[in-house]
Amino acid sequence: MNHLIAPSILAADFGNLQRDIEMLNQSKADWIHVDVMDGLFVPNISFGFPVINAVNKHAKKPLDVHLMIVDPDRYLKAIKEAGAAHITVHYETCPNLHRTIQVIKELGCTAGVALNPHTPVHLLEDIVADLDLVLIMSVNPGFGGQHFIEHTYKKIRDIKALSEKLNPSLLIEVDGGVNDQNAGTLFGAGANVLVAGNSVFSSADQLGAIEKLKQAVS
């Protein structure tokens, strides 16, 4: 399976967001990652529907929307209508996770579940066959620029083993502290989608930074 790169616009220059989206359009990125935060599930607020609509207006690549919010079921249809191609919810916020996943799929979106660093992979055993994607948080969610949590590698290997038994086509995405120094090791552990924020947007050569991630080998 090809390695996919999904730069996170949480690290973009919000004063020049159209410029940064157009840079991503020209780059070798595959998806555009959009982190939606509510200040409740995570200690930060990012952006809502007007910004997602604005991003979608200019984006030529699929929007990968990561909902770090309580009660995400209330907003799934609106997120789809704002332009999401992929919708990921958190295991920790969905008491009726199977139903939530089915709604996302009925909307025509790729359905994903994210796990916080402290949440064990085995909790997904009963639903992994129904998922398109699992997102492993490699930092505590809420803020960009955090240090990568090394235990992430084991979690990737664990979800890879689970997927090989129950869902071989599962996408394994990693979000947090991703850069060109660890990208190859992440791919080698079994990840196939990497979210990168600061390592892309703080680079003097943003297109080159994305290309390095895309070409990383274990």
Kindly report, residue by residue over 202-212, the tens digit of the pLDDT: 999 999 999 99
d(CA 105, CA 94): 16
The answer, yes or no, to whether residue 149 has pLDDT greater than 80, is yes
Cβ-contact 37, 142 below 8 angstroms: yes
- Which residue from 185, 173, 179 is spatially nearest to 200, judged by alpha carbons? 179
Domain definitions of the chain by residue range: 4-214
4-214 folds as TIM Barrel (3.20.20)
pLDDT of the residue at 11: 93
* Residue 35 among the catalytic residues: yes
From 20, 30, 38, 175, the catalytic residue: 175
From 20, 35, 64, 132, the catalytic residue: 35
Q: With H, G, I as helix, E, B as strand and everything else as coil, classify residue 134.
A: strand
Question: Measured in whole angstroms, how far is the alpha carbon of residue 211 from the centre of its chain?
Answer: 18
Percentage of the chain beyond pLDDT 70 is 97
d(CA 152, CA 175): 10
Kindly report, residue by residue over 47-77, the tens digit of the pLDDT: 889 899 999 999 999 999 999 999 999 999 9
Between these two residues, 50 and 143, which has the higher pLDDT value? 50
Kindly report, residue by residue over 168-204, the tens digit of the pLDDT: 999 999 999 999 999 999 999 999 999 999 999 999 9
How does residue 141 score in pLDDT terms, banded at 50, 70 and 90? confident
pLDDT of the residue at 47: 86
